[in-house]
Structure 1
Amino acid sequence: MKIRVRLFAGIAETIQLRELTLNVPVGTSILQLRHHLMEQYPQASQEIAQAMMAINRSYADDGATLHEGDEIGIIPPVSGGDALPSCVISAHPLDVAQAFHQLESVHHGGTVLFVGTVREWTRGRQTSHLEYEAYTDMALAQMKKIEDDVKAMYPDVWTLQWHRIGRLLPSEIAVICAASAPHRADAFAASRMLIDRLKKEVPIWKKEFYANGETTWKSNPEAAREPEEG
């Protein structure tokens, strides 16, 4: 049977098509169509996995069945609920649920999220709050390099690195590094690589404010430059 598929926004831009006419088997479901499009257009697979679907201009779930002549809309998140980039420096709170949703895929069997939060007590000292500062342009460029290196090692992995800047209170989320993959071993390895390299290589600093009024800039020993001999 023949159906019409309409594409919008970033998905249409990535695929460079606004409309497809497809012949699909009778009884094809939205989920089966989603799988087919992800396989045909791997460059847009993540966006297609996260998109809403509509049949004849009404939202439909993955179990809905298609019929001859149906118009299917592939709808990315609308304005106000847009997906964030994979590399983010943000002055706003980070959302774990949003991070998980962005990495969901029917082709992935494992998603690993590392969530770094602000501790209230460190070595017996009470922290009132932290302030994070970043060399933002360089930080984003370095995060993208880390992402590219991880994906070169694990080609089927999707990743994200989100980091807060500004004032954070105890228990607030400072960083999310996450990876999803067809198999859990790759998701675990990629997530660990993301946070380890971010902590070492990305120019983000934190200033600790203690309850007794003292303050200190905290360095990451892993990121320190080795002194030259001689």
Structure 2
Amino acid sequence: MEHTIRFFAGVAEATGHREYTVRLQEGATAGDLLAKLQADFPAAAELLGRCFVSVNQEYADRATVIREGDELAVIPPVSGGSGNDPRFEITTEPLSSDRLIRKVSNPYAGAVLTFVGTVREFTNGQRTLHLEYEAYPQMAVKKMAEIAAEIEAKWPGTQVAISHRIGKLEIEEAAVVIAVATPHRAAAFEAGRYAIERLKQIVPIWKKEVWEDGSEWKGHQQGPWNPLAHPLE
């Protein structure tokens, strides 16, 4: 089987490819794919060994069998397109909290809460010049919708909208805006916090911090966290 693999963020930089074509045997797994890529890109082998594979825009464990026609991507172990539902988007344009509020406002809502994540200049004494965000847009929007479904199940009557900006962002610019509308105010605070934590966990978005003396891809999908689990449930 011949497959074209999509690479993002640090993996794209380490391999020098945004897309890469490989041949796999019938019955090959996601683990076999990563092993093949490690052999093809020895300089990036350590990084690839910590990556996830997505199959048809879903996180796959390493035993998942890859089939003809599957859409494959390598998801870097860091975090931190528009679909059919206009409440969820990846965009290069400046974000507007007012626009998201209009998407969730409804006659049954007694509270509308917005969260705006912005680019800060100093982190632990280190000065950031700017951030560069990258995403797997189709999968990101799909995962945003999944987060909304989780929230609507936990807090009935809640409406959720999420927008995340990609590209180069300057200090103080908004990177993400989340709006939740709930019948009562307590649920708005709870649902808003749940939304941003889940976004950090499962949505394939990465940021590159550019400092005065270097840069690094950083984020939240790193370390022991398993994206196939749901720790907040």
Q: TM-score of the superposition, structure 1-length normalised?
A: 0.58
* 8 Å contact kept, 2:100–2:162: no
In the other structure, the counterpart of 1:154 is 155
* 8 Å contact kept, 1:138–1:203: yes
- Counterparts of 2:199 and 2:137, CA distance in 1: 13
* 8 Å contact kept, 2:143–2:202: yes
Q: Secondary structure at the match of 1:178?
A: strand
Deviation of the 1:125 alpha carbon: 1.3
- Counterparts of 1:188 and 1:175, CA distance in 2: 17
Taking only aligned residues, the RMSD between alpha carbons, in angstroms, comes to 1.7
Q: Secondary structure at the match of 1:224?
A: coil
* 8 Å contact kept, 2:133–2:166: yes
In the other structure, the counterpart of 2:89 is 88
Any unmatched runs of 5+ in structure 2?
A: 1-84, 227-233
Change (3 A) 1:107 1:140: same
User: Which consecutive segments of 4 or more residues in structure 1 shift more than 6 A?
Assistant: none
Q: Which amino acid aligns with 1:202?
A: V
Deviation of the 1:224 alpha carbon: 3.3
Aligned residues: 142
In the other structure, the counterpart of 2:104 is 103
Deviation of the 1:187 alpha carbon: 1.3
Deviation of the 1:226 alpha carbon: 4.7
In the other structure, the counterpart of 1:35 is none
* 8 Å contact kept, 2:87–2:100: no
CA shift digits 1:156-185 (9 cap, x unpaired): 111111111100000000001121111111
CA shift digits 1:99-138 (9 cap, x unpaired): 2222223321111111100001111111111000111111
- Counterparts of 1:224 and 1:175, CA distance in 2: 23
* 8 Å contact kept, 1:199–1:223: no
In the other structure, the counterpart of 1:191 is 192
In the other structure, the counterpart of 2:130 is 129
In the other structure, the counterpart of 2:217 is 217
In the other structure, the counterpart of 1:26 is none
Q: TM-score of the superposition, structure 2-length normalised?
A: 0.57
- Counterparts of 1:223 and 1:141, CA distance in 2: 20
Q: Which amino acid aligns with 1:140?
A: V
CA shift digits 1:20-74 (9 cap, x unpaired): xxxxxxxxxxxxxxxxxxxxxxxxxxxxxxxxxxxxxxxxxxxxxxxxxxxxxxx
Structure number, greater radius of gyration: 1
Q: How does 1:172-191 map to 2 (within 5 A)?
A: 172-191=173-192
- Counterparts of 2:216 and 2:166, CA distance in 1: 16
Q: How does 1:134-149 map to 2 (within 5 A)?
A: 134-149=135-150
* 8 Å contact kept, 1:117–1:172: yes
